[in-house]
Amino acid sequence: MPRPMPTTPFLLAILVAGTAACFSARADATAELPDAPGAMHLATASSRDSVIFAGGCFWGVEAVFERVSGVIAVTSGYAGGDTREPTYGQVSTGTTGHAESVKVIFDPAKVSYSQLLKVFFQVAHDPTQLNRQGPDHGTQYRSAIYTSSEAQLSATNAYVAQLEKMKVFNGPIVTEVGGWQTFHEAEAYHQGYYDQHPNQMYIVINDKPKVEALAREFPDLYRTK
């Protein structure tokens, strides 16, 4: 069930406006976000760690993190709710408690958790939009981070507090931060959606700018896919 696409210039203008609002959340749109306090540095040996990010439609969030060097795998799915084995249709009603999410598996020796946090808050989404992201509305599009360890949880809370104190964004950060949630993998047609549909208008307007921002603002982390 693909998202409905604009069919008139008026609806297209609304979609573009929503996207523009998403990318103007930073008080200084050209400024780089600060590093996390007590940043979690690169590990001394290769291993695997994971975290769940939710930041609106999972197509774009997945596309961003797939292009971060050191990320091993990214999977689109649903997390944060109580419905067992949720489907896209169910989650889209906004009644399951789940958020469209991506599970990111990464090598801490190649990319630190602190760097992933910075990418999430700087280019993957707008953390000031409550229960929405751009043109998409509902609790299933909320901003959330579900951590896999106490160290991640502590680092995330400290970083959010730092960003709030520095007033990096024009509004308060509404990101839900919590411990690990059961992750339900989304239907196969959602996986790699950005690369399968590069010319779809929704992708071009909402998600391509995020990938371009990653390449521009994180050149040392960006990798072509």
* Active-site position among 36, 57, 61, 168: 57
Q: Give, in order, the Cα–Cα distances in Å from 205 to each of 5, 17, 61, 190.
A: 11, 10, 14, 18
Lowest mean pLDDT among 4-8, 69-73, 85-89, 165-169: 4-8
Neighbours of 141 (CB within 10 A): 24
Structure confidence at residue 31 as a pLDDT band (50, 70, 90):
confident
Lowest mean pLDDT among 19-28, 168-177, 202-211: 19-28
């730092």: which residue's tokens? 162
């306090």: which residue's tokens? 37
Residue 75's nearest CA partner among 52, 56, 57 is 52
Tens-digit pLDDT profile for residues 64-92: 999 999 999 999 999 999 999 999 999 99
Structure confidence at residue 14 as a pLDDT band (50, 70, 90):
very low
Beta bridge partners of 179: 147
- Give the DSSP H/E element, type plus range, for residue 36: none
Compute the C-alpha angle 23/11/130, nearest 5°: 40
Tokens of 67: 């292009």
**Bigger pLDDT: 31 or 146?**
146
Contacts of 3 (CB under 8 A, 6+ apart): 57, 136, 202
Q: Are 6 and 128 in contact (CB under 8 A)?
A: no
| Beta strand spans in 69-201 (E) | 71-79, 99-106, 132-133, 136-137, 143-147, 176-179, 184-185
Q: What is the pTM of this model?
A: 0.90
Residue 159's nearest CA partner among 57, 77, 20, 37 is 37
Q: Give, in order, the Cα–Cα distances in Å from 137 to each of 42, 55, 70, 186.
A: 36, 12, 32, 19
Looking at residue 128, its pLDDT comes to: 97
Residue 22 annotated as catalytic: no
Amino acid at 111: V
